[in-house]
Each structure stands twice: as C-alpha cells, then as structure tokens.
Amino acid sequence: MEDSEAGLQDRLSDLPDHIIHEILCFLEINQAIQTSVLSKRWKNLWASVPDLNFNSKGFKEQTFPKFLRRVISKREDCNVRRLDVFTHLPIRLSSMEGLINYAVAHQVEDFRFVSDDVQPVYIPECGSLKTLFLSRCKFGDLRTSFGFGFANLTSLDLYVCWFCYSENDFGDPFASCQNLRRLCLRYCRFPSLKRLKITGFQLVSLEIQGFGYGDRGLQEGCEVEIFAPNLLSFVYKFSKPVDFCGLHFPSLDYVEVHVWQHGTDEATDHDKRRASLCLMSMFEGFGNAQSVKLYCETIQVFISNLAAGDEVVKKKFSSCCFIYLTLKEFWCPGLFARFLIWLMGC
C-alpha cells in the first residue's frame, strides 16, 4: 500500500510545470489554490498558472474583492494568458480596476467579464489583448474620442453594455481596433447618440442583436453608419428596423436579417411605414451579397405597406429588387411564396 502511494506521489511530482499549469487552467482559481495540499510539488504551482478564472459563487459581497486582491498579491510575477471573471455580486470599481490593471500589466491576451448587474468598467489600452467579452458593463462620461484602445484585438463580444457619451452626439467606438475581425453587439445601448458609426477596416464578421429605437438602446432618429470594406458576414437579429444611413459592404457574402415591428395593434401606420422604409434602406447596402436569409417577421415588415398600396414604399422596394436577381442562395421560411408575388409585381 505504501509503495502504491509512493508511486502515485512520484507520478505527480514528475509532471512538468506546463502540464500541471494546463490542468489547473480547467479549474476556478479558488479550486486551483486548494490543490496545493496534494503534494509539495503542487504547493505553489497555482501562483504561476497562466489562466485566472474568478467566480463569485460561494463568496459574499465583502469577501470576493478581498479574495481578488489576495490572489493578485500572492501570484508570481508572470504573464496572464486569460482572465475570466464571473460575478453575481456588485463589485467596486476600484477592485475591478486593480484586477484589470494587473492583467494588462501582465500581457493578458483573453479577457472575459460576466456580471448579473450593470457594472461601471474602465479598461486601459492593452496591446496584448486579442479576445474580449464583456457582459453588463457601463462606459460612462464618454467623449467623442472614446474608443477601445486595443490595437491587436481580433474578437470583441459585448452583451448589454452601455455607452454614455457626455460631450457629443456622435460616436465611433471601435475605430481604434484596427485589427478587429469579429464584432458581436447584443442588446447594447447608445442612449445619447444621434449618429452611431461602426468602423472596421479588417472586420470580417459583424453580428448585431437586440437593436432598435427606444427600449432597444437608440434614441429616436439616431442614424447608424457602418464602414467595413472587408466584411463577409452580416447578421442582424431580434431587432427592429433603424435608419442605416450608410452601409459600405463591397465584399459582403452572407446576410441574415430577423426584424419585426411593434408586434401589437398599437403600432400606427406611421410606425409601420417608417419600419418598412428603414428596412429597405438597409437592404440597399446588401447589393454585393451572395446569400440572404430572411425570417417571416422580416417579410411581414416588407409587405405590410405594399399591401396597403403605399406608392413611396413600393418605389423604394422596386429599387431593391436587383439584389435578389444576383443571389446564389435565398432562404425564407413561411411567407416566401407571398413575398415572391409582391417581388414580381413591383
């Protein structure tokens, strides 16, 4: 029995550091710290693990920030490959800034922050960051020059994030991410802007969800412009039509659109007409697309005013018809036949 235990201890002790580090990366940091009792070999290895995974589960509001500070103070002076923070507790801005500044100073490449409550967050410029996921973050008192200062960032996911500009009604928050290839905006809010611009010179994939006026994050009348000369895929889902005043997609290949109107009898004729015109203006930017996927609700927005005989809408719709003549693929569940009838009649 003793020989068996000794053999097991030897196998643990003989593992190279990088193998043990990869094992510990699968654990939350508090669990990784607990492995220090396994053997002398493992005692301090948690302090140099490249991935830090913090989860507030099991902590109280007062103890979680203390735990963050303690881990940082005890950790060896080595780079952070990935930083994950999952919290259901409100965190002081000073605690978050301390953790983020530590990760930035140690060349973090992948940062993921997920919160149950909207948290004010400030992230300094970071040349090492390549992947960023932020959930329920608020960027307050922003100025026109605000932008994510991540020159090497390639993938950005934002979920329920607030952009509160204080001095201007124009914002172009992603222009400084010159190497960004993938951008996903889900239920983000730009409440003070009259014009939102999304600039992505290297952007290949763009997905926008939960977008629209009023409770969808934009003030009424806000114009949206997107400049992405290398964009291949554009997905606009679970949203309402907005005024896309300019879509520059010369390389576009795939489009997926799922929009709806108010969905109730309370929608006025003016609301329906504006929704149709906004949607058709958006489709004018899809002239180079090879594949388009539309949902039933999208088609209903298209045809609601055509059925009413609105000549302005029909003329606008006719100018969009050339898009469908060059498509390689077209998907539309449900109302496809009815849509084709209107298309042929325009």
- CB distance 99 to 119 below 8 Å: no
Range of weakest confidence among 24-38, 198-212, 285-299: 285-299
Tokens 């997920």 label which residue? 114
Q: What is the pLDDT of residues 307-326, one digit of tens each?
A: 555 555 555 555 554 444 44
Predicted pLDDT of residue 71:
94
Q: What is the pLDDT of residues 123-170, one digit of tens each?
A: 888 899 999 999 998 887 665 555 677 889 999 999 999 988 876 688
Tokens 């608020």 label which residue? 138
Q: Greater confidence, 51 or 5?
A: 51
Selection from 171, 132, 134 nearest residue 152 by Cα: 132
User: How far apart are the C-alpha atoms of 60 and 331, rounded to whole Å?
Assistant: 50
Which whole number is the average pLDDT over 31-60?
89
Q: What is the pLDDT of residues 17-45, one digit of tens each?
A: 888 899 889 999 999 999 888 777 788 89
User: How far apart are the C-alpha atoms of 83 and 86, rounded to whole Å?
Assistant: 10
Q: Greater confidence, 97 or 143?
A: 97
Range of weakest confidence among 59-73, 111-125, 185-199, 301-315: 301-315
239 Cβ contact partners less than 8 Å away, ≥ 6 residues apart:
208, 209, 210, 211, 212, 216, 258, 259
User: How far apart are the C-alpha atoms of 176 and 234, rounded to whole Å?
Assistant: 21
Under the banding of pLDDT at 50, 70 and 90, the label for residue 89 is confident
Q: What is the pLDDT of residues 238-280, one digit of tens each?
A: 999 999 999 999 999 999 999 987 554 566 777 777 887 888 8
Which whole number is the average pLDDT over 96-125?
88
Write the DSSP string, 303-314.
HHHHHTT-HHHH
Q: What pTM was estimated for this model as a whole? A: 0.85
Which whole number is the average pLDDT over 58-79?
92
- CB distance 153 to 129 below 8 Å: yes
